[in-house]
Structure 1
């Protein structure tokens, strides 16, 4: 089994604690339409900080809390998480053949 670049994962520059465990990597998953409730698509696509503080806990694994996103995640990690989140809203053709996969079997 070979690894594919994890386009939907971020290695944190400063780990956060989730359920007492130090977490160094956060994986994002494509949000379901219901997880976008109460948020503006325009704000999400503009990478509005407040919208992303609400959305990231809904799609992160292990799950981050809103407090952790707002207070514990370093700005450079937040920027990378947000940038990767926006990729979920692009069509496959716009990603130029890149896959949002964790692993590929070879």
Structure 2
């Protein structure tokens, strides 16, 4: 997994995207997607989604938001067919994006 930090005053302040290697690649046509990059969503990309559901890793909420924030863009059908371990990992990273910057920094300092 790769973090893409944004720096300010020589300190890392936020992660705006994260690349995740999938345990089970997603088949798309004749090719496979083995790595997905998710980026921090903007408020408008969260429309129609309960933040509580997203924070609780609701599959329905992830099926709605992931097509809006993934590269390559995953379809809701592809999200529904993902390996549960991959979906959990991606969902956990989305949940981290919902936390305030100061809380994210505190979590990274303890790791």
Fold in common (TM above 0.5): yes
TM-score (norm 1): 0.77
Q: Give the deviation of 1:21 after TM superposition.
A: 3.1
What is the Cα-based RMSD across aligned positions, in Å? Answer: 1.7
Answer yes or no: is 1:75 the counterpart of 2:71: no
Task: Tell me what 2:41 maps to.
Answer: 31
Ranked by relative contact order (alpha carbons within 8 Å, sequence separation 6 or more), the top structure is: 1
Deviations 1:23-77 (A, max 9, x none): 2110001112111111111111222121111111111110110000001x11100
Contact 1:28/1:60, CA 8 A, preserved across alignment:
yes
Distance 2:42 2:101 in 1: 17
Out of 63, 69, 86, which is 1:59 matched to? 69
How many residues are treated as equivalent by the alignment?
93
Answer yes or no: is 1:46 the counterpart of 2:56: yes
Structure 1 unaligned blocks of 5 or more: 99-106
Query: Which structure's residues are more often strand, by fraction?
Result: 2
TM-score (norm 2): 0.74
Structure 2 unaligned blocks of 5 or more: 4-17
